[in-house]
């Protein structure tokens, strides 16, 4: 109830810039959905800017206009959602085509139900469709790919190796 009160107070503010840090932390899924619906329908008018920082990227993916990933105070990815959808593609690769897919240099690779799922940047969707099922990745999948490649070990940056 306290979180809901805070959210109501924040939305009552008539500011051109609204910065929300984990605004739905502690709310169940119904209240989180209701909050974002209210934020967009009742508060956002096209003249205001809303910045949301969250670890719950799945719940904001459909309402974003821009995306920024920050790692240790540095911006490691910045793009509009249109750029995101055009630039990144994920393919669940047929087992016969794994080596060919790896030659296209995926950003990240993971195993799902015994199949290789690879995330690519600026690779032709048609080319990938010939080797597997293609889709736009989730923001969470892109985050794992970008941040996983920037992992720090013992205070020093090290690139995370993809499976060979």
- Domain coordinates of the chain in residue numbers? 2-63, 84-157
Sequential DSSP letters for 98-122: HHHHHTT--SEEEEETTEEEEEEES
Better pLDDT: 18 or 105: 105
Burial (0-12, 13-18, 19+ Cβ within 10 Å), 31: middle
The DSSP bridge pattern shows strands 156-157 and 132-135 to be unpaired
Query: How large is the average pLDDT for residues 2-29?
Result: 76
Confidence of residue 105 (pLDDT cuts 50, 70, 90): very high
Tell me: pLDDT of 154 over 50: no
Better pLDDT: 55 or 11: 55
The DSSP bridge pattern shows strands 17-21 and 49-53 to be parallel
pLDDT at res. 103: 94
Average per-residue pLDDT in the chain?
Answer: 82
* Conformational region of residue 51, where left means phi above 0, alpha means psi within -120 to 50, and beta covers everything else: beta
Residues 6+ positions from 59 with CB-CB distance below 8 Å: 24, 32, 33, 36
- pLDDT tens digits for range 31-74: 888 888 887 777 777 788 888 888 888 888 888 889 999 888 89
């Amino acid at each position: 109830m306290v979180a809901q009160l805070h959210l109501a107070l924040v939305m009552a503010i008539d500011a051109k810039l609204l910065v929300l840090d984990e605004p739905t932390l502690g709310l169940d899924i119904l209240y989180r959905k209701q909050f974002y619906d209210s934020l967009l329908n009742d508060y956002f008018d096209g003249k205001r800017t809303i910045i949301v920082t969250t670890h719950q990227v799945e719940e904001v993916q459909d309402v974003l206009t821009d995306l920024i990933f920050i790692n240790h105070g540095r911006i490691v990815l910045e793009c509009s959602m249109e750029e995101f959808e055009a630039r990144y593609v994920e393919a669940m690769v047929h087992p016969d085509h794994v080596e060919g897919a790896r030659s296209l240099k995926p950003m990240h690779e993971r195993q799902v139900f015994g199949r290789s799922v690879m995330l690519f940047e600026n690779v032709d969707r048609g080319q990938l469709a010939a080797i597997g099922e293609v889709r736009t990745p989730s923001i969470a999948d892109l985050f794992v790919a970008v941040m996983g490649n920037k992992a720090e070990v013992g205070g020093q940056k090290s690139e995370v190796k993809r499976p060979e």
